[in-house]
């Protein structure tokens, strides 16, 4: 991601407050235009005219205010907040100076009050339900629907103001002020789009490449929302409690299940139920390799126990265990894999040990030297402990259909820089 602006993201509430304040001022000015005798002259405004469906100026004013009421209330809240924060800052600073005898604590008092996230959300009328933490698209959709309706009503009001602008001075004046207010509404929508983009189209700090990504790459998942340990145990943000969960969405698998979770049974069982089924695989690699994959494609490894290809485990924990054994990790990739024709083998048959009695040299060479590539698409190795099963595919370009990527905390500073890990702090009543 070429643009990295954590300061703008943290202080976007100030921009939103400014837009809301401007909308509130424009709305107040339109009310003044409607009731001012100096402007209306012979066109006196009456509340009863709003119910008169033949009065275009009254209908336009009604639609205008329906679309502006939220922004107007936000503007009022901003003014009240500014007045309140000035009073409380003065009181807090005076108390800090009186208690410590030093002026060094003044800045901390103001910053702690100004940084209270629940207060920000209350001012911006932005619901912070815990369910939005893992579902940023849902919040954006609801906000987008509401703001789009406001824009539609505002646009209709502008048209009605314009239709009577030649015969009514109120219509002419409100046409211009309402048109200007549309700029602030568009700005609010763009801010919401930016907020949504930071969460849903998240890009970790380690990915600084500007060129296009693979169409198979669905999204990066920020580490602080992934896994059982990061759930807040609140309504909408709890670990999936369904015993046999059939949700195969990659984001759901990564976010609402533990690292040891196996989204599907081992292949020998699954193929009996559906031979054409796809399989969810877990792949751990270095962060630099993960970024390269995101912007291009998986590449086959040089050599491994199952020959050449791309290796997958059945769970995040299984993939991490194999990565630790090879001292290779930092990023987890969860992918949907088209298995094709599968060659199954038991680990005891190809892994020679001192006590092994089932080792087959011919089978070992067939697998290790990648001879299975001639007739098969995938080699699946069954372990005694089925949670350790792994498989290798020969053609990642055609067999890997899509994936999501999680970069580990120690390799990604963006979550902290943007304050995403604390954005849902101080949430009161599951909303504000």
Whole-number Å distance between alpha carbons of 297 and 317: 23
Is 90 exceeded by the pLDDT of residue 96?
Answer: no
Burial (CB count within 10 angstroms: exposed 0-12, middle 13-18, buried 19+), residue 335: buried
Asked if 284 and 320 count as a contact pair (C-beta separation under 8 A), the reply is yes
Could you tell me if 312 and 408 lie in one domain?
Answer: yes
Could you tell me if 387 and 333 lie in one domain?
Answer: yes
Q: How confident is the model at residue 429 (pLDDT cuts 50, 70, 90)?
A: low
Establish if 427 belongs to a structural domain. no
Could you tell me if 228 and 97 lie in one domain?
Answer: no
Q: How confident is the model at residue 235 (pLDDT cuts 50, 70, 90)?
A: confident
What percent of the chain clears pLDDT 70, i.e. is strictly above it? Answer: 79
Establish if 93 belongs to a structural domain. yes
Q: Which domain holds residue 249?
A: 217-412
Q: How many domains does the chain have?
A: 2
Could you tell me if 11 and 83 lie in one domain?
Answer: yes
Establish if 140 belongs to a structural domain. yes
Whole-number Å distance between alpha carbons of 419 and 12: 12
Question: Taking the C-alpha atoms of 124, 130, 134 and 137 in order, what is their torsion angle to the nearest 10 degrees?
Answer: -40
Establish if 308 belongs to a structural domain. yes
Whole-number Å distance between alpha carbons of 33 and 39: 6
Could you tell me if 80 and 136 lie in one domain?
Answer: yes
- Can you give the pLDDT at residue 223? 92
Could you tell me if 238 and 176 lie in one domain?
Answer: no
Structure tokens that stand for 245 in this block? 């969960």
* Per-residue pLDDT tens over the stretch 112-145: 555 556 666 665 656 667 777 778 888 888 888 8
Could you tell me if 275 and 135 lie in one domain?
Answer: no
**What pTM was computed for the model?**
0.81
Is 70 exceeded by the pLDDT of residue 197?
Answer: yes
Could you tell me if 180 and 318 lie in one domain?
Answer: no
Could you tell me if 194 and 239 lie in one domain?
Answer: no
* Per-residue pLDDT tens over the stretch 245-296: 888 899 989 998 888 888 999 998 888 777 778 999 999 999 999 999 999 9
Is 60 exceeded by the pLDDT of residue 54?
Answer: no
Establish if 88 belongs to a structural domain. yes
- Can you give the pLDDT at residue 55? 66
- Can you give the pLDDT at residue 46? 47
CATH of the domain at 301: 3.90.228
Could you tell me if 134 and 259 lie in one domain?
Answer: no
- Can you give the pLDDT at residue 413? 92
Establish if 211 belongs to a structural domain. no
């Amino acid at each position: 991601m070429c643009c990295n602006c954590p300061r703008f993201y943290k202080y976007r509430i100030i921009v939103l407050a400014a837009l809301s304040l401007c909308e509130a001022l424009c709305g107040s000015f339109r009310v003044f235009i409607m009731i001012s005798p100096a402007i209306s002259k012979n066109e006196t405004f009456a509340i009863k005219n709003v119910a008169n469906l033949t009065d275009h100026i009254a209908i336009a004013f009604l639609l205008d205010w329906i679309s502006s009421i939220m922004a107007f209330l936000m503007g009022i809240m901003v003014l009240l907040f500014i007045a309140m924060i000035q009073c409380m800052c003065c009181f807090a600073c005076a108390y800090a100076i009186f208690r410590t005898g030093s002026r060094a604590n003044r800045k901390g008092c103001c910053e702690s009050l100004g940084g209270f996230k629940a207060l920000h959300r209350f001012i911006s009328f932005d619901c912070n339900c815990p369910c939005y933490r893992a579902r940023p698209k849902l919040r954006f959709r609801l906000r987008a629907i509401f703001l789009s309706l406001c824009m539609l009503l505002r646009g209709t009001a502008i048209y009605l103001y314009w239709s009577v602008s030649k015969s009514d001075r109120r219509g002419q004046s409100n046409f211009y002020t309402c048109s200007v207010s549309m700029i602030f509404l568009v700005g609010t929508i763009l801010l919401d789009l930016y907020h949504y983009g930071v969460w849903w189209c998240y890009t970790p700090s380690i990915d600084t490449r500007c060129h296009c990504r693979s169409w198979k790459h669905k999204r990066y998942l920020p580490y602080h929302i992934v896994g059982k340990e990061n759930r807040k145990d609140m309504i909408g943000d709890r670990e999936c409690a369904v015993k046999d969960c059939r949700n195969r969405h990659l984001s759901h698998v990564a976010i609402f299940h533990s690292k040891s979770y196996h989204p599907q049974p081992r292949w020998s069982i699954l193929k009996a139920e559906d031979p054409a089924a796809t399989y969810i695989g877990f792949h751990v690699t270095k962060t630099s390799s993960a970024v390269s994959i995101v912007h291009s494609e998986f590449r086959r490894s040089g050599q491994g126990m199952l020959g050449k290809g791309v290796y997958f485990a059945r769970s995040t924990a299984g993939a991490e265990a194999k990565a630790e054994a090879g001292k290779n990790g930092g990023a987890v990739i969860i992918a949907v894999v088209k298995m094709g024709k599968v060659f199954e083998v038991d680990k005891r048959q190809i892994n020679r040990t001192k006590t092994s009695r089932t080792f087959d040299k011919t089978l070992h060479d067939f697998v290790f030297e990648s001879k299975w590539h001639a007739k098969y698409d995938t080699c699946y190795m069954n372990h005694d402990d089925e949670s350790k099963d792994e498989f290798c595919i020969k053609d990642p370009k055609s067999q890997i259909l899509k994936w999501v990527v999680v970069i580990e905390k120690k390799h990604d500073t963006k979550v902290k820089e943007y304050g995403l890990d604390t954005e849902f702090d101080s949430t009161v009543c599951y909303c504000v």
